[in-house]
A = this chain, B = another copy of it.
Amino acid sequence: VPQLPSDDGTELQFCTICPFSRSCLAEGVDKQDLRELQVLVDHVGPLPAGSLIFEQGAPFDAIAAVRSGTVKTARLDREGREHVLGFHLPGEVIGLSGIADERYPCNAVAIDSVQLCRFSFPKLSVLARRLPGLQKRLFRLLSSDIGSATLLSGEYTADERLAAFLVLLSRRLASRGSPENQLSLAMPRTDIANYLGLAPETISRVLRRFQDERMVRVYRRRLELTNPRRLETIGAAILRA
């Protein structure tokens, strides 16, 4: 359901947060190349919360960059249980794990209002042969997704996991210009718990304790990190891995 937003994507004025445009512009791609890249982009959205962006098992044909909002990726096992794989913020790319089998291995769902830039992967591949910078960018995007399951692996305590989760989320949001230490979660506790391999009740309890110890202030899904340093210390084992 493509729907062009008014404030971006016009002609040669490409999304400023788009990982691909950044890569190409940095390499001095000429206007013709940029136009080609732009042609194979669909600007999608805004999609309301709950929208299915791509579905587990569906044929893979495109990747997408999040432009605004938050996307959750999750897979369902045969027993119907959900396993949350990650949350994806503006500037981050989803769908790369579908390349291998030419099927998406997971669902991608908008958890608030989401805008995307959708790239046909076959077209992107062809273009990447002519644009070394684009090829390199694709390789790097893929590579950086490999080691990103750090919060889950290893034997970490609930405190470590949640502290690291909050710090990393804060950093990711801050690098996009959001006010640091001031985050509003788009996802419910159950999703965070699932992602971190914990029970929702544990999230509540740890958050409570963090608040009692003046490290965060919590009101529903709005959080303020009042002592990010201590959170970093607690999550150090994960953060400094």
Contact = CB atoms under 8 A, between A and B. Distances in A.
Interface of A: 75, 77-79, 81, 83, 85, 96-101, 105-106, 125, 128-130, 132, 135-136, 138-147, 149, 152-155, 197-198, 236-237, 240-241
Contacts of A153: 83, 85, 149, 152-153, 197
Contact of A144 (B83, B100, B138): B100
A84 to B, nearest CB: 9
A197 B154 contact: yes
A232 to B, nearest CB: 12
13 contacts: A77-B240, A78-B236, A96-B143, A97-B147, A125-B132, A129-B130, A129-B135, A135-B135, A142-B143, A142-B146, A149-B149, A153-B153, A155-B198
A239 to B, nearest CB: 9
B240 A140 contact: no
Given A132-B125, A147-B105, A241 B139 contact: no
A139 B138 contact: yes
Given A153-B149, A153-B153, A135 B143 contact: no
Contacts of A98: 143
B129 A125 contact: no
Contacts of A197: 153-155
A143 B77 contact: no
B125 A136 contact: yes
Given A129-B135, A135-B128, A153-B197, A100 B140 contact: yes
Shortest beta-carbon contacts, A-B, top 3 = A99-B143, A142-B142, A100-B144
Given A135-B129, A142-B142, A154 B83 contact: yes
Contacts of A154: 83, 152, 197
Nearest to A156: B197
Contacts of A99: 139-140, 142-143
Contacts of A106: 147
Given A128-B135, A154-B197, A241 B143 contact: no
